[in-house]
Amino acid sequence: MFDAQPFSRPVVVSADQDSAKPLFDRVHEWIVTVDHKRLGLMYFCYGIVFLVIGGIEASIMRAQLAVANNHLVSPETFNRMFTMHGTTMIFFAAMPIVFGLANYFMPLMIGARDMAFPRVNAWSFWMSAMGGIILYFSFFGGSGLYGAGSAPDVGWFAYAPLTSRAFSVGHSTDYWIIGILVSGFGSIGTALNVLTTMLTMRCPGMTLKRMPLFAWMNGVMALLVLVALGPLTSAQLMLLIDRYLGGHFFDTQAGGSAFIWMHFFWIFGHPEVYILVLPAFAIVSEVIPVFSRKPIFGYSIMVGATVAIAFISLGVWAHHLFTIGMTSYANAFFVASTAAIAVPTGIKIFNWLGTMWGGKIRFDVPMLFCLAFLGQFLIAGLTGIMLAAAPFDWQLGNSYFVVAHFHYVILGGIVFAVFAGSYYWYPKVIGRMLDESLGKWHFWLFLIGFHLTFDFMHIPGLLGMPRRIYTYEPGRGWDIWNLIVSIGVIFQVAGVAVWAFNVVWSYFKGNVAGNDPWDAWTLEWSTTSPPPVYNFATLPVVRSCRPLWDLKHPEDPDWKYE
């Protein structure tokens, strides 16, 4: 492998000397750290822990639904499972994972030594961590100290007035509100930090037009967080006022409006999809060029499409509300805005294809996950178009078709991209490669499991099966499909178990990676693996989008074509 000369050899002491310190000191260092790499890693690992917890909750639901009229768990338990699954996966798995990646790699890719606000960074992480702990404490404290514990059971979008004290007694809904509020403050802190870092911390020579797409997309993600989290936080505060201070915002029995909660929630909820998917695009936009051996096709168009997606995504929320009886004009408007988002998204897919076109594609594990991402994200987009046609949504909305659709986006898109990123950057973070053949086992098991579960989940939706039912009557043609869907879970669990084993095994036994194992082009590969505390001993100076390409190909550098 080509081992690029770094811009300068770091003079900082190696992290290995840490192991001489007592355990207490080492743990203490992690807790008080303000280093973006450690915080990024903690964010990521925290998200993975909750990914596993949310996965267990999903497995319980699938065990219940595998056959008709099953009573493995009670209706109350099932309702808690889907509420906790949704809330956990969105707020405490997906967001920490994408924030972790942004935290770790944004400074490294723009040639900075840390985030703009390292202390805000630590504060944000611990706020998010606290939010998850508060939410899960509801299992013990949900009914007060003297009652049995009970997790929230109002659904992850918690439609009013089911959340009012008349219908949700005890404290489980309060834990839900406060958990999300607290982690929301953390998210806003991280978003400010990522955006400011992108705007102010770039190394000499790195204009906005020379910034890696990873930085662009995460910056736009941060902007969306700043816009979208506000309405959610406001709605949670109003709900809390309703529950404890005699407010009537959503209290329909006193003239409040169930309608307003829906709008508040989805004004947050739809941009949230793009908050999660833009970082997935960011990973794919780094991996595909490196493994196709070509620069990203249409760099400035990709940036434009990212900004366009973010902008349009703020005006589509009511496509979650086609069935609430809006006027025909309002419905038509949201059909148009929702369908419009297909255009910049399509541009992205075509640009990734254009990047592969004429390249020499290497099928390493990160690229396998990205190829699966492309195919799956295409299908997710197409089912999205079906749901965007409001009348079709009157049938498909709140059915298993919708559940299949957004899991195609989140699992087939975001999780596959995160796995791609984990194989791509593990060598940089740990200094060793993840095992290639274990990686292929992981890929194929997870791919088969994903398609068994989520391809077949569309069908009961088309056959009229609503979501969030704890059991169903036999003889409606739903049984066989639900069984296949549940079987797929086994393969997914096996795949993730192989990945977890690989991560641990390779930490001790993996091949030593070197600085630049993939022969890549962005700045993080110019420093050591793992990077020293200060990232770069002297700040790099760049002249194009691909500084390491310029270094490796002095006869044909990118900056000639700018």
Partner 1 sequence: MSTSSAWAALPVVGISVTNAALASTLRSPQTSLFSPVSTPADEIYRLSLLVLAICAGIFVVVFSLLVYAVVKYRRRPSDDGREPPQIYGSNQVEIAWTVIPILIVVVLFLAAARVIHAVQDAQFPPGTLEVTAVGHQFWWEFRYPSYGFVTANELHVPVSESGHPIPTHITLLSADVVHSFWVPRLAGKTDLIPNRRNEMWIDPHVAGTYVGQCAQYCGTEHAKMLLTVDVQSREDFERWVQAEKAPAAVSDQVASGRKIFETTACVNCHTITGTAANGKFGPDLTHLMSRKTIAGGVAENTEENLRLWVTSPDAIKPGVLMPAMQLPKQDIDSLVAYLMSLH
* 19, two tokens: 């192991």
Contacting partner 1 (CB under 8 A), which of 41, 110, 275, 465? 465
Residue 128 · residue 152 · CB < 8 Å: no
Contacting partner 1 (CB under 8 A), which of 12, 169, 199, 480? 480
Q: Is 199 in the site for partner 1 (CB under 8 A)?
A: no
Could you give the angle at the alpha carbon of 231 between the alpha carbons of 418 and 415, nearest 5°? Answer: 10
First to last CA, the chain: 28
Q: Is 395 in the site for partner 1 (CB under 8 A)?
A: yes
Q: Give the DSSP letter string of 47-96.
A: HHHHHHHHHHHHHHHHHHHTSTT--SS-HHHHHHHHHHHHHIIIIIIIHH
Q: Is 450 in the site for partner 1 (CB under 8 A)?
A: no
Closest CA to 532 of 43, 114, 73: 114
Alpha helices in 142-246 (DSSP H): 172-200, 213-244
Q: Is 550 in the site for partner 1 (CB under 8 A)?
A: no
Could you give the angle at the alpha carbon of 85 between the alpha carbons of 158 and 122, nearest 5°? Answer: 95
Contacting partner 1 (CB under 8 A), which of 118, 398, 483, 551? 398
Asked if the bond preceding 22 is cis, omega within 30° of 0, the reply is: no
Backbone angles phi, psi at 341, to 5 degrees: -70, -20
Q: Is 315 in the site for partner 1 (CB under 8 A)?
A: no
CB nearer to partner 1: give 456 or 499.
456
Question: Which residues within the stretch 348-377 sit at the binding site for partner 1 (CB under 8 A)?
Answer: 349-351, 353-354, 356-363, 368, 371, 374-375
Q: In whole angstroms, how close is the CB of 232 to partner 1 at the nearest point?
A: 19
Contacting partner 1 (CB under 8 A), which of 325, 508, 554, 555? 325
Q: In whole angstroms, how close is the CB of 447 to partner 1 at the nearest point?
A: 9
Residue 377 · residue 428 · CB < 8 Å: no
Sole window of 36-44, 330-338, 420-428, 491-499 interacting with partner 1 (rule: CB under 8 A):
330-338
Residue 321 · residue 275 · CB < 8 Å: no
Q: Is 396 in the site for partner 1 (CB under 8 A)?
A: yes
Q: In whole angstroms, how close is the CB of 172 to partner 1 at the nearest point?
A: 13
Q: Is 241 in the site for partner 1 (CB under 8 A)?
A: no
Amino acid identity, position 406: F
HSE of 195, CA atoms in CB hemisphere, 13 A: 14
Contacting partner 1 (CB under 8 A), which of 5, 8, 14, 74? 74
- 481-520 footprint of partner 1 as x/- string (CB under 8 A): x---------------------------------------
Contacting partner 1 (CB under 8 A), which of 394, 497, 507, 538? 394
Q: Is 301 in the site for partner 1 (CB under 8 A)?
A: yes
CB nearer to partner 1: give 43 or 491.
491
- Give the three-state DSSP class for 98: helix
Question: Which residues within the stretch 29-68 sit at the binding site for partner 1 (CB under 8 A)?
Answer: none
The rounded distance, in Å, linking the Cα atoms of 499 and 504 is 9
Q: Is 252 in the site for partner 1 (CB under 8 A)?
A: yes
Residue 399 · residue 464 · CB < 8 Å: yes
Query: Which letter does DSSP use for residue 91 in this model?
Result: I
Residue 325 · residue 258 · CB < 8 Å: no
Total number of residues that touch partner 1 (CB under 8 A): 102
- 92-131 footprint of partner 1 as x/- string (CB under 8 A): ----------------------------------------
Q: Is 292 in the site for partner 1 (CB under 8 A)?
A: yes
